[in-house]
Amino acid sequence: MPTVSQPQTPAALDSPLREHRHRPVERLTDRLETPSLDDRSYRVIKLPNQLEVLLVHDAETDKASAAMDVNVGNFSDPEDFPGISHAVEHLLFMGTKKYPVENAYSQYLSSHSGSSNAYTGATSTNYYFEVAAKAAEDASAGESSPLYGALDRFAQFFIDPLFLDSTLDRELRAVDSENKKNLQSDQWRLHQLEKSLSNPKHPYCHFSTGNFEVLKTEPEAKGIDVRQKFMEYHEKHYSANRMKLVILGREPLDTLEAWAADLFAGVRNKDLPQNRWEDEVPFGEKDLLTQCFAKPVMDSRELDLSFPFIDEEFLFESQPSRYISHLIGHEGPGSIMSYIKAKGWANGLSAGAYPVCPGTPGIFNCQIRLTEDGLKNYKEIVKVFFQYISLLKETPPQEWIFEEQKGLADVAFKFKQKTPASRFTSKISAVMQTPLPRQWLLSGHSRLRKFDSAKIVEGLACLRPDNFRMTVVSQKFPGTWESKEKWYGTEYTYGKIPADFITEIKRAAASTSKTRLSELHLPHVNQFIPTKLEVEKKDIKEPAISPKLIRNDDLVRTWYKKDDTFWVPKANLFVNCRNTLPNATAENLLKARLFTDMVRDSLEEYSYDAELAGLDYSISSHSMGIEIAVSGYNDKLSVLLEKVLVTMRDLEIKPERFEIIKERVLRGLKNWDFQQPYNQVGDFTRWLNTEKGYITEQILAELPHLTAADIQQFYPHLLRQMHVETFVHGNLYKEDALKLSDLIENLLKPRILPQTQWPINRSLVFPPGGNYVYHKTLKDPANVNHCIEYLLFIGDKSNRPLRARSLLLDQMTHEPAFDQLRTKEQLGYVVFSGVRTTSTTIGYRFIIQSEKTPQYLEERIDSFLHNYAKTLADMTESEFEGHKRSLITKRLEKMKNLDQESGRLWSYIDNEYLDFELTHLDASNIKLLTKADMIQFFSHYILPASPARSKLAIHLNAQNTKAADAVTVVENGVKALGLNKDKKDEEDGEVVPVKTEGNGTTPYIITDVREFKSRLQVSAGPQPVKHISEFEELDSKL
């Protein structure tokens, strides 16, 4: 029985809602099933207005957070108003009665080390934020926790939003820009195609994002007041009893309960029923046995089988689809994937059921990534799939397989570590909308509790030849497409599956052990299941900041840190095999990549069990050599490492597998040009900041020339001579770490690479007054967005005072830049600003993706920076100190889990600075800064009028605009810039007209990249902050 308690309200918090005080808060439970290491306390309550709240007290957290999940999403959009839920999510942030300034919320969060976001799903809209968990040490006595102020502002969105008229147009343009960003994304396009071809009577068919046309232009043409429509929608669907709130903070549960009761009591309860759709299904009889051939933007090939499935809404204890997808999605011996990969037909397979919405059964889906040969044989693959289903149907559900899954899920939950605060609150508020018993809110869908053979059989019964849809995705097959999807313009051909093919499928589905492919069978027992899960936990006064160097000779350096913070039975191992070969030429870089791809390919079947059992590995090549990482439960970590090393050493490059991998890499490189422009721009910036490096075009040019024999000859050279640097972190002892290093040495037996020959990482140094522009026309003809990266060079990133100033500039301008360039000017959905580092230097950059030209975007950035000089000059001391506090809190934020700490420590080793105290030293340098320091810094490095500032701008131009035409015209007339070249290379920049800028410099247009780089100095390489001997601990102490 839930108990009823009276909340204790802090007297200082003067609430306007005192009249609710006599109405009790209902306490539902404070006993949640938690991971064994969880030190938080929990309580679930229900407010008098029926708003359900999970309170989380975490005494150690440095970030507090809250999330509200509202049970309404795009499935509730009216037919004539697609995207209204999404538009309301955008508009809700724009001012409330109590806090009418439109960016009051984001400003408050920004000044307290916080941030916020939201998303709209099918049946829920989820809003969340995070903020510093405690007031700064030097905050005034009257200042309450930053969480209280954030909750107060947050609650008002659900009590009295204004839907300010002045923000309407702008936010709808943001929605429009978000939609345009997705128009060329196959993920969005193919998902919408499936929806558009579903039953029009079920809301699964909706277009969820909305655009300016359907949300403003069309309704207004019909005389509809759209603002009124949004307010009515909010009024109709937003109700306290449909909301789930999670609040996480350092405060005691009683305080959090009082705040929740106080601040959210004003959310109106309209007693609305839960949104359910029980009368129609997404795919009825006429939508089944259909085939759809869809043409993607990127060169990809996929076979997709979808089956209307059972409703698992209340089956959270047994989750039958997990048993079924475990077997169908398996990649070990006997599996569908093992067979079709051996045939050379597939590169990947994934399977699983997903819920559609409450009241509607789910959909079981199997996706197979096809090779060229697989596309030709897609019908054979469908038959193999159904043969495997016949195997599952003739074998009763195996309890040992369920127990294996259950055991792994239990271990994973038991040792689950914390995630970032807002990720936790956002996720759990959504989980609260499900019918899980409240004590299982944290463990509910992760753990398996009971073996339900009958439900597994019922689930398998859905996977039959008269109950599915098939989609084949390819740019070449069948070659003609009859229709275009309404919202994204995807070309497709749709119709019934031919009767003769159905007959073949039925035969496959009816196969028996005699007629079935002998290669198909159930998986074997998983040898990688961890059995040693003990952790020796010691009392540690202060966790060690840096690892120790426990081996340091000419061949190997081994860094080691025993986990002293998280106490999980896991470990992470990183290995860098330093070698100068990969970066020597673009061809070498590509050969090293193909080698590591081939290693991964040959290990897929073996490593699948390890992955299921929580043990992962990766192997990749980069400019400084090859990196291997193994992470997960430490029990069997060395077994997996040994297999990876032996595979690397003895790899036989089989020509038929090589051709499949080569073709996959080729598509990946070509598809690079069809990503979002803002995802492309960083590669050009990185390339133009390094002395030596390669971009996609240069690598792509080498691929046709390579054969399997080239890789077979190349890789022994890659492994013959190297320097090995390893880092071991986690639940392992010093002797274990040394054994892992010995394993690498003994298996690979490399020769020593003398230290004088180690590659040195250097970056280009941009001179004061530098002004460089690189122009490139984007290759996707259908893309409408331009993009700019605008980078101001600052200097050496190990110069601590300079670094502190750069970080503080980022903190101070982050919210105002977003507010001005995105919210007010609506330049585009993607607007980033902040610090950007290279291997040795630091700068400050903007990235904007927009339908406006890069030239115009550059002017707007200049204008923002010009105006910010005044904002900075007028800033009060308390605002300035607030920014410093906010940044220091961010820099000193604690690591949440072992992987985060391992990643950070490895980056300090790998980048060669060994600057393990970086965040603490950043904080102490930020503390010293004065407003005068920042004005001087801004005026010198950032202000557009400063003759000393140095800028690199990358302009990526969309094809279908006037700008692109101008480029060609000028190019014909200008030959002066590529002085030492008589022809243009593919990767060189384009010529454009220039004019002198505000600081008296004339842009240097980068047309000949080699010439541009040859004019610049290079930086020194990374210098360790302490001599390496200071980290040594070379004796045998454990």
Query: Distance from CA of residue 857 to its chain's centroid?
Result: 26
What are the phi and psi torsion angles at 480 (to 5°)? Answer: -130, 145
Q: Is 271 exposed, middle or buried (0-12, 13-18, 19+ CB in 10 A)?
A: exposed
The half-sphere exposure of 858 on its side-chain side, counting CA atoms within 13 A, is 24
Per-residue DSSP letter, 122: S
Output the six-digit token pair for 1003: 């842009």
Beta strands in 644-797 (DSSP E): 721-730, 751-752, 764-765, 771-777, 786-796
Please report which helix (H) or strand (E) contains residue 291, including its range.
strand 290-294
- Nearest CA to 1013 out of 682, 658, 702, 766 is that of 766
Kindly report the CA angle at 462 between 456 and 464, in degrees rounded to 5? Answer: 125
Please give the helix or strand (H or E) that residue 972 lies within, else none.
helix 962-973
**Long-range CB contacts (within 8 A, 24+) of 210-213:** 210/82, 210/83, 210/84, 210/86, 210/87, 210/175, 210/179, 211/83, 211/175, 211/176, 211/179, 211/180, 212/172, 212/173, 212/175, 212/176, 213/176
As a whole number of Å, the end-to-end CA separation of the chain is: 52
Nearest to 402 by CA among 509, 298, 324: 324
Work out whether strand 41-46 and strand 63-70 pair parallel, antiparallel, or are unpaired. Answer: unpaired
* Encoded tokens for 918: 């970086």
Gap between the Cα atoms of 57 and 390, Å rounded:
50
Which ranges of 397-498 does DSSP label H, i.e. alpha helix? 399-414, 421-431, 453-461
Q: Does 280 qualify as catalytic in the annotation?
A: no
Paired with 577 in beta bridges are 626, 724
Give the single-character DSSP code of 755.
Answer: G
CA distance 776 to 491: 28
CB 459 within 8 A of CB 164: no
Phi, psi of 32 (to 5 degrees): -100, 145
Burial class (CB in 10 A: 0-12, 13-18, 19+), 21: middle
Q: Which of 528, 622, 963 is nearest to 776 (CA)?
A: 963
- The backbone torsions φ and ψ at residue 501, rounded to the nearest 5 degrees and listed phi first, read -70, -40
Which of 33, 52, 89, 218 is labelled catalytic? 89
Q: Which residue has the tokens 């670094």?
A: 803
Tell me if residue 985 falls in helix, strand or coil: coil
Q: Which of 120, 113, 187, 170 is nearest to 812 (CA)?
A: 113
Which residues contact residue 129 at a Cβ distance below 8 angstroms, ignoring those fewer than 6 apart? 65, 66, 67, 105, 109, 114, 115, 116, 117, 150, 154, 422
Instruction: Let me know: does 834 contact 845? Beta carbons within 8 Å.
Output: yes
CA distances from 157 to 13, 99, 152, 163, 266 (A): 20, 10, 10, 10, 11
Q: What is the DSSP string of 304-332?
A: EEEEE----TT-TTT-HHHHHHHHHT--S
Q: CA 577, 581, 587: angle at the middle one, nearest 5? A: 125
Do 789 and 845 meet the contact criterion of CB atoms below 8 Å apart?
A: yes
Burial of 755 (0-12, 13-18, 19+ CB in 10 A): exposed
Which residues are part of the catalytic machinery?
Answer: 89
